[in-house]
Amino acid sequence: MRNISDRPYETKRVKEKEMIFGIHAVLEAIEAGKTFDKILVRRDMSSSLGKQLLDKLSQMGETGQTAVQRVPVEKLNQFTDRNHQGVIAFLSPVEFYRVEDIIQAAYDKGETPFLVVLDNVTDMRNFGAIARTCSCAGVHGLVIGTRGSASVNGDAVKTSAGAIHTLPICKVDNMQNALQLIRDSGLSIVAATEHASKNYTQADMTLPLAILMGNEEKGIYEGNLRLATEQVRIPMKGTIESLNVSVAAGVMLYEAVRQRAISNQ
């Protein structure tokens, strides 16, 4: 089944209003057009109704916006003591957008597209802080992966100071395909990496732009980095090798804001 993985899921108690459990309840939510962040399914689900649910989830997987994960029943039990019937769906507080629609909307308004792409940024506080900065800097959309990214949930809304409600977020199943689409749409992809030799202030950020930021520990995945138009670094003067990713994103974003303000004078 496409878009269903066995990757371990971080377990923690969440508010029941943020999740739906039970096969009938999840099927009804799907039919009602609810937007989900993640859906966990018991690994050995085999009932006829369970197979009906799996077929629905397979169809949903084609959109690339909902991560569906097969997990042991013990994982599900850690989220709720109630009868979950082998499935728990985590609701998203926001709707998700398509990357191409965000870019086209910016062009239609006569604006220069400005995106931020996060490659596996997993920390909730970093994600929230970046979303808040994006909103303040006039970013048109924030692009994240369906898997390997911080959850877009109520906690994310809080850490972003509500910015997630005003900032269009795009969830993509394949990050490399998304980056190629961004390039094909005429945007320059500027990747922030400590391994670059070019200073971030030397990049032309007045062009249609997507700023690419990487994972807190591993940085940008090599396959994604190869799709960047150019690679830049933020110079470090002390003994620490790199900035926190949310701080680095702020530096990059406001360099773009500075350059664009000058070009519009």
Instruction: Specify whether 101 is located in the same domain as 87.
Output: no
DSSP category for residue 92: P
Domain that holds residue 116: 96-263
Instruction: Specify whether 129 is located in the same domain as 239.
Output: yes
Instruction: Specify whether 229 is located in the same domain as 258.
Output: yes
* pLDDT given at position 265: 53
Are the CB atoms for 230 and 209 separated by under 8 Å?
Answer: no
* pLDDT given at position 211: 98
Full-model pTM? 0.79
Are the CB atoms for 168 and 97 separated by under 8 Å?
Answer: yes
* pLDDT given at position 137: 97
The tally of domains found in the chain comes to 2
Are the CB atoms for 22 and 84 separated by under 8 Å?
Answer: yes
Instruction: Specify whether 87 is located in the same domain as 122.
Output: no
Q: Tell the residue number behind the tokens 């390997």, with chain if given.
A: 148
DSSP string, 101-156: HHHHHHHHTT---EEEEESS---HHHHHHHHHHHHHHT-SEEEEESSSS---SHHH
> What 3-state DSSP class applies to 41?
strand
- What digits encode the pLDDT tens for the residues 154-205? 788 888 988 888 899 999 989 999 999 999 999 999 999 998 999 999 999 9
Which of the listed residues 58, 91, 124 is the one where a domain comes to its end?
91
DSSP string, 239-260: S-----HHHHHHHHHHHHHHHH
Q: Tell the residue number behind the tokens 């670059």, with chain if given.
A: 196
Report which of 215, 139, 223, 130 is spatially closest to residue 179, judged by C-alpha positions: 223
Instruction: Specify whether 133 is located in the same domain as 196.
Output: yes
Q: What is the CATH number of the domain that holds 231?
A: 3.40.1280.10
Query: Lowest-confidence range among 17-31, 52-66, 111-125?
Result: 52-66
Instruction: Specify whether 177 is located in the same domain as 159.
Output: yes
Instruction: Specify whether 163 is located in the same domain as 221.
Output: yes
- pLDDT(94) > 70: yes
* 214-235 b/e (C-beta count within 10 Å ≥ 16 → b): bbeeebbbeebbebbbebbbbe
Instruction: Specify whether 100 is located in the same domain as 52.
Output: no
Instruction: Specify whether 102 is located in the same domain as 87.
Output: no
Strand partners, 117: 143, 212
Q: Which of 1-5, 22-26, 140-144 has the highest mean pLDDT?
A: 140-144
Instruction: Specify whether 118 is located in the same domain as 77.
Output: no
Instruction: Specify whether 76 is located in the same domain as 206.
Output: no
Query: Could you give the CA distance from residue 72 to residue 8 in angstroms, rounded to a whole number?
Result: 9
> What are 26's two structure tokens?
């999840």
- pLDDT(244) > 50: yes
